[in-house]
Amino acid sequence: MGRLLAEAARGTAGSHRFADAGPGKKTDGVGRTSMVPGTSSGATVLDSATRELTRAVLLFSLDGRIRPTGTRQGGLVDRFDYGRFEPHLRSSEAVLPVPVLAERVAPNELELPHGDRGLPLASAEILVLATPRGDVTLVLDCGFAGETEPGALASWLADTCFDRARIRLAGRPLLAVLGERLALPTPLALGQNVHQLVFPGGQLMRDLLSADLADVSRRPALLNEIVYRGRMPPALTPDSEAGLAPNLRNHGVTLAAHGRGVSVQAGWAPHVENALTLVAVGMISALAVLQRTRLAAFETMRANERALADSPYEIRSLISRLSAGVNELQLDLAFGVEAYVDSLLIPEMLMENFQSSLRDALGIRDSLENSARMVERLTSVINARSAALDAELAERDDRRDRTVSALVAVATLIALPPTLLLAFFGVNGTNVDSGRSILDLGAYGPAYALAWLPFVALAVTGYVLLRRVSRRSGSFLSPPLSPPDGRPAPVPAPRSPSGG
């Protein structure tokens, strides 16, 4: 049956049709809100309300990145009514997704691959949202024109999910139109993640919320049909019914139920609907970032394994590129995932419950922990490679220094005896005959012996001492590596709990 997570909250039902959407706001026929300058109201706005027409908000992750620089669309807080949640969002506006494209289109321009399933639209709005890190989410905000039968709605949701690549706008592929309007250098492409929020209205909402249904088991059956897009049997078995949360069987005036891909939120006021949508946008964006981070981590690992570097400069360049890539992965995890998966964005219990439940359904927490560990291990591998390079360079420098020192010593050893001989032949001594050649060893043999023999003896003595030092150093390494008797080294007994 899959995973169905739900919770319900009781409150006082409003008798209005979203007429009091909040101070400074107004609503259209499907509960969408916009700013109205210069209006105010002292009435208390409830979190619960009734809705006559069903609203569906479709969230699609997009591949690639769009940096939200210089956008003229304004912020989400200025475009939608968030009611009592607005102060929280104002303080966190720097981390919120930003609309880079926002257009209201004619309902008949939005064409689904299998038609409207008998559910004509009354309104349609398209938004392309980009986070500060450039992660993109496509939002289709649709309001239906009449009653929404559960089976038809389930088929409509299935079409917009599984055949989303075939959605067209004014006869052309939707993503192609959006790419042109955004003037992007590369075409947009759909990602793997979809989440659809359904805000039931009319008879569907009353069926879901009614406490006087003759057949109480029909309520979870309706939820099951919508949440799983009609892909599961409409009737629940006794075993699956026992596994549902108890509050699913005791609805009040509000309802929140969701699976991995569809959320059903009934009886909420528009500012709650908008806040729930914003939370879902953050979840879908975070999931897309996690998937991209996982793939990028594997690519970084392969780049490290396949890299061929023959010089220290090439190795340093490789380490620099790998480190830059890992730094980007860490920034993605911090500001593309962690910023949207905790309750700090909207620290309200209603939002926290939905966020926590959706996060668990999507498996974001475990994926985040696993991805963070992968990035940490990549960092360790890069650090180890850098340390190995530093050790190799230090060893090379040490060999070079030893070679230079040896050459200097040899040059000094070779140069000193001729210097002494030249000094001997240059003095006006009685032992120097100007008529003889300096190469006459018969006459000058003792002088040559006195000049060379001490240095030869010094070289032989230094070689013998170095050999003795090397042998003694090797003896220090042999006992720990190979015990004298060839048996394994004894293992110390474990300490007792008392430390003895």
**In terms of DSSP bridges, do strands 262-266 and 189-199 run parallel, antiparallel, or are they unpaired?**
parallel
Question: How does pLDDT run across 142-158, given as a tens digit for each residue?
Answer: 999 999 999 999 999 99
Helix (H) or strand (E) holding 316: helix 312-332
pLDDT at 413 over 60: yes
Q: What is the pLDDT of residue 440?
A: 63
Backbone angles phi, psi at 440, to 5 degrees: -80, 95
pLDDT at 110 over 90: yes
Helix (H) or strand (E) holding 138: strand 135-144
Lowest mean pLDDT among 158-162, 189-193, 382-386, 423-427: 423-427
Question: How does pLDDT run across 362-378, given as a tens digit for each residue?
Answer: 888 888 888 888 888 88
Q: What is the pLDDT of residue 154?
A: 93
Q: Are 183 and 194 in contact (CB under 8 A)?
A: no
What is the SS3 string spanning 424-485?
Answer: HHHCCCCCCCCCCCCCCHHHHHHHHHHHHHHHHHHHHHHHHHHHHHHHHHHHHHHHHHCCCC
Q: What is the pLDDT of residue 455?
A: 74
Lowest mean pLDDT among 59-63, 111-115, 415-419: 415-419
Residues in Cβ contact with 103 at an 8 Å cutoff, skipping those fewer than 6 apart = 125, 126, 181
Backbone angles phi, psi at 5, to 5 degrees: -110, 135
Question: Mean of the per-residue pLDDT values for the chain?
Answer: 75
pLDDT at 64 over 50: yes
Question: How does pLDDT run across 431-474, given as a tens digit for each residue?
Answer: 666 666 666 666 667 777 777 777 777 777 777 776 776 565 44
Q: What is the pLDDT of residue 439?
A: 65
Please, how many CA atoms are within 13 Å of residue 96, restricted to the half-sphere of its CB? 22
pLDDT at 121 over 90: yes
pLDDT at 41 over 90: no
Q: What is the pLDDT of residue 434?
A: 61
Question: How does pLDDT run across 480-490, given as a tens digit for each residue?
Answer: 444 445 555 55
Q: What is the pLDDT of residue 112?
A: 93
What share of the chain in percent tops pLDDT 90?
Answer: 23
Q: Are 204 and 150 in contact (CB under 8 A)?
A: yes
pLDDT at 29 over 50: no
d(CA 365, CA 371): 10
DSSP states of 320-348 as a string?
A: HHHHHHHHHHHHHIIIIIITTSSTTSS--
Cβ-in-10-Å burial (0-12, 13-18, 19+) of 304 comes to middle
d(CA 198, CA 141): 10
